[in-house]
Chain A
């Protein structure tokens, strides 16, 4: 029908307007990697400043800006988008779908995230980045001079809207778009854990939205929620932030858990042990994730009853997490473990994450938390779970799915060098920080005094960080040097178990020429060993309906981007810019809603040609 139309556009235009989940996934990965390098660079600068006592490499104000931007960038602009990239690319393939439920919204979500991230980072160039920590506690944040915090508020608001949209999209995709035969309890674990993470997004982000709205109204329009003299209360912000913030850390870790649940069975040649227990544990973690947020607030004075309840609820999360750890170990038990780079990352995760997890339980001990809180012990805890969990997961997922996404395998030799350097650097950096915290080093300090016994361990920590940086550069290099390891087979690892390994490489834009029929968990493995090795089709070959691309997502996001400047510079008389920006956004939404777009069809012969291999 209108296939020709979709082809005649330039490549750039194609990427800007694409609604293909695979391209959007790749864009998330590229943008996320960029922000990871940026956040890492910020970490390196902080670590240089902390290398020696009373070092004057950076002014204290700059240090505070770096630490705020490091945390914010890593969480919102690096870890989450990188996970979203993998989720976008892989989930539809794992459930045998041609696309996500809302291709247009999917693209909108990406552009909102990107514009939000850019907005946040513009603050560096216009009078200083936000400086109140990624948690932006009021009244430090509400009264912070300059525009840094305004950029924080609006940047996160815009990118947060993108995340929420993305979450809803994944939920509906997973519920409505599964191939025939794929019941919920046959879904691959990565899809399952992304599903639960999306539920967390759905319920956690609104709390952040309101928190940020209040902070914006307080700063820009002189509201008084956090102004004690006007009857306000500063703890409200902390609740809103952590009602979002604690689920957020499980939003990060659950998809990573999902990745390990794919990588480990593949490279152990063994079905995931305790599939239903794994699913159940994921759900429990998701639920408990909402009931424990105040463990970040043990010292703000809620009282012993509240502290005790939240302490016990927090400890409970160790149980379902432990279930998962032991099920992974038992998956490995009796398998034939291959030490590919992807699997090395997955295997290194187990001990690293357990170390971070158990310090979490120590932190949850409310009476002892009074000692741990806001010290480097906390910094050590969360880098152990985040790097030992999320980042190792991202690297495992990257190595595992790289051939599927980019059509070539990353070099295994460089991969292993990268792996070992990164792992050693990581433990070197953060292991000593436990002790730094316990012997009296608070977190978020721009420096520390000589003669307090903190020097040696800080130096070790910085050296570790440099190792991680070298490792990361090796990884980036290997991306470029490995491009000749082209992959053409459908299942390059030979042991693929799930539907993403049943389709040609590179992935056709419609994913599946025919929707597959799923007959068991690990659909491909089942066909390999119980069937003839090929998926059964659930439908006859026919024209495939595809959605058209659209530039409107960028326009909508751009409108909000422009409007944000209007709010940030409200006091300088730029309120009109907010009006202009919102008009662009709502105008584009209006156009979208009145213009019906029914997509186009890829004709059968096109598909058969492609099936024969190009």
Chain B
């Protein structure tokens, strides 16, 4: 019952969107922040529907009653105006706006409550053209593209950018804040439910702006602790698994890739690419491509074709054997099992 009211106007859209799957819709809030925002959206929507209905009713009435007809010959009375009416249509909108403005101001402050306490977790979000980096200062972890968080924990995000302005948006969890070079913007999110939440960059940041997607993955706090510990440890050493191909792949990786991509704290550089420690567990590759070998290979051979303007070096001439080994190795980069 409690949830029925909010479903009414958008039921058909929700069906269209199939949003349960994607966790992409601001109309299907999955956490306290997006709930607050959703309730404001609905409050404002109801006020606006009221306004629209009032205007439409007068409008339709006028158009029907006062259309010119051939039998009309009178000159309409040239009315100057009406004080009482002016007062009415000044006051009523003011009242309607107050109904919206007061909760809005309160919630604006609620959402700005980003002073971290001991119970909260801090994640620094660095945005790059065109990928995301998540740094967990309390754990000494850096993760690329996919942000793991524990459920039911208030997460304070500290947003930063290294090149141009980006904007961090996970519609189902929270509205956006901008990642601005030279400035740190705090915001907070919380996810009561486990799940994968789609995130998008919403500030035009170059040709591959539309592909600058990311994921927020909420897991139960225990899983999160495991994940965090293993991110520091790194994935299991491929030499221990007896996977020859992967060992070969690691060699390729260490020769060509490690200068930009760190794995378990080794390699990488500040101007480099995403941390690949848990790449094998990615839901998508490069932020938006379906996670399969063909896509990964194609991306490595020609990153520009996929995300124009991105900073990764291309490897068009890598031999097929090396490529197969490399991809095998990339698949072993897992920390959760």
Contact = CB atoms under 8 A, between A and B. Distances in A.
Size bin of chain A's contact surface: 35 or more
B80 A361 contact: no
Given A337-B68, A440-B171, A367 B107 contact: yes
A349 to B, nearest CB: 11
Interface string A180-197: 000000000000000000
B320 interface: no
Given A335-B66, A371-B34, A275 B81 contact: yes
A139 B86 CA distance: 47
Given A301-B180, A446-B207, A315 B97 contact: yes
Contacts of A137: 164-165, 203-204
Interface in B2-32: 10, 13, 16-19, 22, 24-27
B316 interface: no
Interface string A414-455: 000000000000000000000100111011111111011110
Contacts of B163: 139, 143
Given A275-B80, A276-B81, A440-B25, A234 B16 contact: no
B79 interface: yes
A133 B55 CA distance: 35
Interface in B45-91: 45, 47-48, 51-52, 55-56, 58-59, 62-63, 66-68, 72, 74-82, 85-86, 89-90
A252 interface: no
B175 A301 contact: no
Interface in B105-137: 105, 107-112
B183 interface: yes
Contacts of A64: 204, 206-207, 209
Interface string B194-219: 00001011111111111001000000
Interface in A505-548: 525, 529
B200 A370 contact: no
A368 B105 CA distance: 11
B59 A368 contact: no
Contacts of B178: 299-301
B76 A373 contact: no
B167 interface: yes
A61 interface: yes
Interface string B280-310: 0000000010000000000000000000110
B185 interface: yes
Interface stretch (B36-44, B245-253, B268-276, B322-330): B36-44
B229 interface: no
Nearest to A454: B17
B104 interface: yes
B63 A334 contact: no
Q: Which of B110, B177, B180 has the most CB of A within 10 A?
A: B180
Nearest to A367: B107
Given A143-B164, A311-B104, A369 B175 contact: yes
Residue among B76, B77, B85, B169 facing the most chain A CB atoms (10 A cut-off): B76
Interface in B88-106: 89-90, 93-94, 97, 100-101, 104-105
A358 B40 contact: no
A529 to B, nearest CB: 7
Contacts of A373: 167, 175-176, 202
Contact of B52 (A271, A355, A438): A355
A276 B83 CA distance: 11
A60 B207 contact: yes
B288 A365 contact: no
Contacts of A368: 37, 40-41, 44, 104, 175
B18 A453 contact: yes
Interface string A118-153: 000000000000011100010110010000000000
A438 B59 CA distance: 29
A177 interface: no
B204 A444 contact: yes
A149 to B, nearest CB: 13
Contact of A318 (B26, B97, B171, B198): B97
Contact of A370 (B45, B174, B181, B204): B174
B198 A440 contact: yes
Nearest to A315: B97
Contacts of B27: 438-439
Nearest to A306: B108
Given A308-B108, A367-B104, A453 B37 contact: no
Contacts of B181: 139, 228, 234
Contacts of A326: 58, 85, 89
Contacts of A316: 97
Interface of A: 59-61, 64, 131-133, 137, 139-140, 143, 228, 232-235, 268-271, 273-277, 299-301, 303-304, 307-308, 311-312, 315-316, 318-319, 322-323, 325-327, 329-330, 332-339, 347, 350-351, 354-355, 358-359, 361-362, 365-375, 435, 438-440, 442-449, 451-454, 456-457, 525, 529
Interface of B: 10, 13, 16-19, 22, 24-27, 34, 36-38, 40-41, 44-45, 47-48, 51-52, 55-56, 58-59, 62-63, 66-68, 72, 74-82, 85-86, 89-90, 93-94, 97, 100-101, 104-105, 107-112, 163-165, 167, 169, 171, 174-178, 180-183, 185, 198, 200-210, 213, 288, 308-309
By Cβ-Cβ distance, the 6 closest A-B pairs, closest first, are: A370-B175, A228-B182, A453-B17, A445-B210, A274-B81, A440-B24
